[in-house]
Amino acid sequence: MKNFVYVAGLSAAFLVAGCTSLPGSGSVPKWSQAAAPAGQPIPYRWTHGNAEKAHKAMLSTFGRTGLPPGQFVWTDKIPTEGETRVVVDLVTQMAFVFRGEQLVGASTISSGKTGKITPLGYWPILEKKKFHRSRKYDNAPMPFMQRLDEYGIALHGGANPGYPASHGCVRLPMKFAEKLYGLTKVGTQVVIEG
């Protein structure tokens, strides 16, 4: 079964380039000049509805439907109860962190560029390092690295231009990556939909 999110007023090219609007909200950020026919279906290759729920939680928690590239929001009050989990939405280039059922932060991301894959699915954090260097890509820095698979795909701080630009990792704004690093542990669940 294919899953679709209907995004009024947004083009598919804009979504790939870093949409910051809630799917179905019809709102387009002022910094975007994108336009497309209303009701344009944007397909998710794989979703269990986590991204849609996260976008709704962002609206109810922070009163926002999106963020400009490189920006994030974080709550002042983090619940002490409940497991931490991360939801990554490749279609809208956003990440969301929950403690229990409470959204505590949301951020723009930069995922794998054309030819480089950010894998979909459920992933536990396998390893954490405050500072790591890539063995594959010219010793590139990967601050606040949280590895998701055996091939080196990770969440980490890095350039966040608002569109897919990484070698497969999920790049986060540096301060968000640091806050997320402090909230997760080895085994924390990350779901990547897109």
pLDDT in tens, 88-107: 999 999 999 999 999 999 99
Does residue 115 register a pLDDT over 60? yes
SS3 145: strand
| pTM over 0.85, yes/no | no
Identify any residues that bridge with 3 across adjacent strands, giving them in sequence order: 44
d(CA 113, CA 128): 24
- Alpha-helical segments (H) within the chain: 12-16, 50-62, 174-183
| Cβ atoms 44, 120 nearer than 8 A | no
d(CA 125, CA 161): 24
The single-letter code of the amino acid at 18 is G
Query: All domains of the chain, ordered by start, with CATH?
Result: 47-193 (2.40.440.10)
Strands 170-172 and 102-108, sheet pairing: unpaired
Does residue 7 register a pLDDT over 90? no
Residues 14, 193, 108, CA angle at the centre, nearest 5°? 50
Identify any residues that bridge with 171 across adjacent strands, giving them in sequence order: 110, 156
N-term to C-term CA, the chain = 14
pLDDT in tens, 27-63: 333 222 233 345 666 689 999 999 999 999 999 999 9
- Residue among 74, 95, 66, 84 at smallest CA distance from 128: 84
